[in-house]
């Protein structure tokens, strides 16, 4: 019964709860896990303690207190906090190096992701800094009505493995929740616990700089899936955001729904993002497409939820040429380090299954602990005759499935069988006769024309999400400023006069600027 010393003093091994780094002191403190060196598959020190249910209870309590305090703060304070987090994140000397070890992602990619992450934080800050930004609308009709955005309460953010910055501890979900006025409890992804703890330290410094008196952001580390359900089921949690696998996301959504008080679960569950190559694709387009497709399939080790994992390519010489160019590139691909040994193992196992279902037509260089590029191809007729939808299963890694179609009627049948997608692209020239186009719009959150779906822009018009099972709520985007809408609800204030309504709003400490529009 004693406090264990930190093995690596710079990386806290415990939970950040109620403004403190918790050190487990009871007999459960031997329960824990490590990250793995993505390139060597060796365990990476330090040892991280599994968060306990007692720590979760403490975090829930602190988050509730924080919610009350935070909902009364000005937009300016929220903006200051988001900017301070961005500042601190930009000044974490060991963060990217640690994440390189834990995720195997290239330094350049992590640098770009850090830029994106701080950019997101600053964009949310800019959108809420002005007094009107609480989205207060008022009318002096009789009775007077106001509407404002009310924060839902503490949000549980389940971090993703594949974006250890942009969709992790200080990622888009955390930024959106803080901008919306909600405290955050992050359940860190067990594939990068060290990077998560270092990010939490940066947020802690930002909160200290602003003398935030409450537990606005807390961090729980666990490699135990049942703990995630305990978090989502905790009564203090008012909403869940999740980025990850379909299996894990759907289970979490079910937990959220089956609580005594159900809460919304915004799960972004991935997709195969079909790429429809039209017969009108020109030769010039083809060359460019082969290059960009190769990049999109293999970039970040093919571990993006927007990876174009399914290619519908016409039969015939032009289609053959495109396939040949893709095969050549994949055959020469040097392989990729995946996010961790378990990712590689799963990639190999799913690849083996796929090779039993479809013809392996390209395979890149094999190297120890690296995933080699792979392409499979099947005829549309064969796919359409199969009894299960193996061709729609997402495989995380540098690979893609090709389906060759003979005629538009086969395409239409494939479209009918496709499930909800984050994105669908068309490649080639659209002709006026495309009655099947609406089915594609029905299927996805983003429809692209001669564009690859990777490289999701952080923009107000972006939609990152899509019909089930691409997400658990297609009415919201996980990227862009609209992501904030997930964590607020409308509250109407009604009074006999605008002056009375203002009186009530002041008592609520809402401090709005009136806007007399209807």
Region 119-138 residues binding its own copies, contact defined as CB under 8 A: 137-138
CB closer to its own copies, 37 vs 446: 446
* 271 belongs to the binding site for its own copies (CB under 8 A): no
416 forms part of the interface with its own copies (CB under 8 A): no
Q: Which two tokens stand for residue 62?
A: 């602190």
* 104 or 465: CB nearest its own copies: 465
d(Cα 173, Cα 157) in Å, to the nearest integer?
7
Of the pair 63, 89, the CB lying nearest its own copies is at 63
- Catalytic residue (choose from 268, 399, 410, 444): 268
Q: Which residue of the set 182, 265, 305, 399 is catalytic?
A: 305
Closest CA to 286 of 251, 320, 259, 315: 320
Residues near its own copies (CB under 8 A), total: 71
Single out the residue of 146, 227, 242, 396 in contact with its own copies (rule: CB under 8 A).
146
Q: Which stretch binds its own copies (CB under 8 A): 118-126, 140-148, 192-200, 227-235?
A: 140-148
Q: Who contacts 24 (Cβ-Cβ below 8 Å, separation ≥6)? A: 4, 14, 49, 52
Q: Which of residues 333-352 bind its own copies (CB under 8 A)?
A: none
Pairing of strands 217-220, 32-36: unpaired
Q: Least Å distance between CB 308 and its own copies?
A: 13
At 158 the three-state DSSP class reads: strand
Among 7-15, 30-38, 290-298, 491-499, which window interacts with its own copies (CB under 8 A)? 491-499
List the structure tokens of 183: 């405290």
Cβ neighbors of 413 (< 8 A, separation 6 or more) are 380, 384
- Burial class for 68, CB neighbours closer than 10 Å (0-12, 13-18, 19+): exposed
Other Cβ atoms within 10 Å of 517 Cβ, number: 7
The rounded distance, in Å, linking the Cα atoms of 360 and 402 is 10
| Closer to its own copies by Cβ: residue 355 or 513 | 513
* Known catalytic membership, residue 268: yes
Residue in 477, 483, 498, 512 binding its own copies, rule: CB under 8 A: 477
Q: Which long-range contacts (CB under 8 A, 24 or more apart) does 405-411 make?
A: 405/312, 405/313, 405/314, 405/315, 405/380, 406/314, 406/315, 406/380, 406/381, 408/436, 410/380, 410/381, 410/384, 411/276, 411/312, 411/380, 411/436
Per CB under 8 A, 468 contacts its own copies: yes
Q: Which is nearer to its own copies, 20 or 451 (CB)?
A: 451
371/463 with CB nearer its own copies: 463
Cβ(203)–Cβ(217) under 8 Å?
yes
**Is residue 291 involved in binding its own copies (CB under 8 A)?**
no
Stretch that binds its own copies, among 24-32, 124-132, 350-358, 434-442 (CB under 8 A): 434-442
Concatenated DSSP letters of 392-452: G----SSEEEEEEESSHHHHHHHHHH---EEEEEEESPPPS--TTHHHHHHHEEEEEES--
Closer to its own copies by CB, 344 or 452: give it: 452
**Is 39 an active-site residue?**
no
Q: Which of 208, 407, 504, 513 binds its own copies (CB under 8 A)?
A: 504
> Which residue of 16, 49, 70, 150 would you call a contact of its own copies, by CB under 8 A?
150
12, 32, 75, 153: residue in contact with its own copies (rule CB under 8 A):
153
With beta carbons less than 8 A apart as the criterion, state whether 197 and 11 touch.
yes
Interface with its own copies, residue 156, by CB under 8 A: no
Is residue 368 a contact residue for its own copies (CB under 8 A)? Answer: no
* Contact positions with its own copies (CB under 8 A) in 224-253: 253
| One residue of 38, 447, 458, 470 binding its own copies per CB under 8 A | 447
Q: Catalytic positions, please?
A: 268, 305
């Amino acid at each position: 019964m004693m406090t264990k010393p930190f093995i690596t003093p710079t990386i806290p091994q415990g939970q950040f709860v109620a403004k403190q780094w918790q050190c487990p002191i009871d007999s459960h403190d031997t329960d824990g896990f490590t990250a793995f060196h993505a390139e060597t598959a060796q365990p990476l020190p330090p040892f991280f303690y599994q968060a306990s249910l007692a720590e979760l209870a403490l975090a829930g309590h602190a988050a509730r207190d924080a919610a009350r305090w935070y909902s009364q703060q000005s937009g300016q304070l929220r903006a200051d906090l988001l900017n301070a987090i961005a500042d601190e994140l930009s000044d974490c000397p060991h963060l990217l190096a640690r994440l390189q070890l834990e995720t195997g992602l290239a330094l350049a990619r992590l640098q770009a992701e850090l830029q994106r992450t701080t950019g997101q934080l600053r964009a949310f800050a800019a959108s809420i800094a002005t007094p009107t930004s609480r989205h207060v609308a008022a009318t002096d009709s009789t009775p007077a009505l106001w509407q404002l955005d009310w924060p839902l309460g503490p949000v549980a953010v389940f971090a993703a493995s594949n974006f250890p910055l942009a969709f992790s501890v200080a990622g888009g979900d955390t930024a959106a929740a803080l901008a919306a006025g909600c405290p955050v409890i992050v359940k860190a992804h067990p594939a990068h616990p060290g990077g998560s703890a270092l990010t939490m330290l940066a947020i802690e410094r930002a909160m200290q700089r602003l003398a935030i008196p409450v537990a606005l952001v807390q961090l729980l580390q666990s490699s135990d899936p049942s703990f995630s359900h305990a978090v989502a089921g905790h009564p203090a949690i008012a909403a869940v955001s999740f980025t990850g696998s379909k299996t894990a996301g759907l289970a979490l959504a079910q937990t959220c729904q089956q609580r005594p008080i159900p809460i919304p679960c915004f799960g972004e569950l991935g997709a195969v993002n079909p790429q429809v190559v039209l017969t009108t694709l020109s030769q010039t387009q083809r060359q460019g497409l082969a290059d960009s497709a190769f990049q999109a399939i293999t970039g970040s080790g093919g571990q993006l939820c927007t990876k174009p994992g399914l290619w519908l390519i016409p039969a015939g010489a032009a289609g053959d040429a495109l396939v040949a160019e893709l095969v050549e590139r994949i055959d020469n691909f040097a392989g990729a380090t995946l996010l961790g040994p378990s990712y590689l193992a799963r990639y190999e196992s799913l690849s083996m299954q796929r090779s039993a279902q479809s013809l392996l037509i390209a395979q890149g260089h094999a190297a120890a602990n690296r995933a080699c590029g792979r392409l499979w191809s099947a005829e549309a007729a064969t796919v359409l005759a199969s009894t299960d939808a193996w061709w729609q299963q997402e495989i995380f890694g540098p690979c893609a499935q090709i389906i060759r179609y003979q005629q538009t009627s086969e395409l239409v049948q494939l479209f009918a069988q496709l499930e909800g997608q984050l994105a669908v692209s068309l490649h080639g020239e659209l002709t006026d006769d495309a009655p099947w186009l609406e089915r594609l719009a029905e299927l996805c959150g983003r429809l692209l024309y001669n564009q690859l779906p990777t490289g999701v822009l952080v923009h107000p018009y972006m939609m990152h999400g899509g019909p089930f099972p691409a997400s658990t709520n297609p009415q919201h985007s996980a990227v862009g400023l609209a992501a904030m809408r997930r964590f607020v609800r409308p509250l109407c204030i009604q009074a006999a006069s605008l002056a009375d309504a203002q009186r009530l709003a002041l008592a609520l400490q809402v401090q709005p600027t009136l806007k007399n529009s209807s």
